[in-house]
Amino acid sequence: MTEKPTEQPETQAAPNKSVKKITPRRAAWVVFLAAIALAVFCAAALPGSSSAGIVLPEGSGADMHDVITEQTQYQLTSADITKENVQQVVASLARPESYSASVTNTLYWNGAWKEIHAMQYVRDGVCLTEYDDADGTAERFEAVKGGSYFAWQRTGSAQYTGATGTVTSDDLSMIPTYETLVAEDPQEITEAGLRTVGGVSCIYATVTDAETGYSLTYWISAVSGLLIQADYTRGSELVRSVVVDEMEQEQPSASLFVMPDGTSLLPEDTE
């Protein structure tokens, strides 16, 4: 398999590696691997809307615009987002209650690459991930509702139900949970600011683990509050790229959340 050209945000800078160890970063990798293991196990067991508000910290240069939403018409600038305040800005974001999005994970190794496509649907406290087969047809479904995990396939009647444990809805879609950025050691944030990715104004931040050489850069939409892209790198080498697009903040159809036995994962009063 030939090497796939990668598209990076136009002005992305190389991460600074002169930082200390990040315990949360290692934990994120452990959770990610656990999610993959859970997905493989469950697959084997089966036969056959609101706008995000951004609160800028005091002294950010935008004191007249403490709360930024789509309605304010205020345009963020690079001066508004810095390494010193990016955690406070991200902490003020809120995900929409309902949305759907396409998620593409690209894994790179030894000059080869592989793409994994999925759709993520969120409504009424339930997150459903739909994985496609090689032809782009929905093949496998996984969902998280509270502390419960569900899995089933497009064909057949078998379904699996269990506890989520440490696995989150983001793990099912192989999306790094960007809210964990708030808990990082500020000294580990090597870069932050505002960039445009795919025509979307995004808050970005890079966190680096000096001991392992791995870095993770998040790009978060300043409008929807949702992750747009994330890149895992080791030194200058891209290891994994996550692209989230085709976002819709309309409520996904209730029919998507029905398991093979006819049970809906949505509340009983849902239409």
CA geometry: angle 3, 5, 8, nearest 5 deg: 140
Q: Is the pTM of this model over 0.75?
A: no
Print pLDDT tens along the chain (271 aa): 444 544 444 444 433 433 344 444 554 444 444 444 444 433 333 333 333 344 444 433 333 233 333 333 445 555 578 889 999 989 988 889 999 999 999 999 888 999 989 999 999 999 999 998 777 777 899 999 988 999 998 887 889 999 988 888 899 889 999 888 998 989 899 999 998 887 888 999 999 988 888 899 999 998 888 999 999 998 889 999 999 988 898 899 999 999 999 999 999 877 5
Annotate 126-146 with three-state secondary structure: EEEEEEECCCCCEEEEEEEEC
- What single-letter amino acid sits at 51? S
- Which runs of E-coded beta strand occur in 93-188? 99-109, 112-123, 126-132, 138-145, 148-153, 159-163
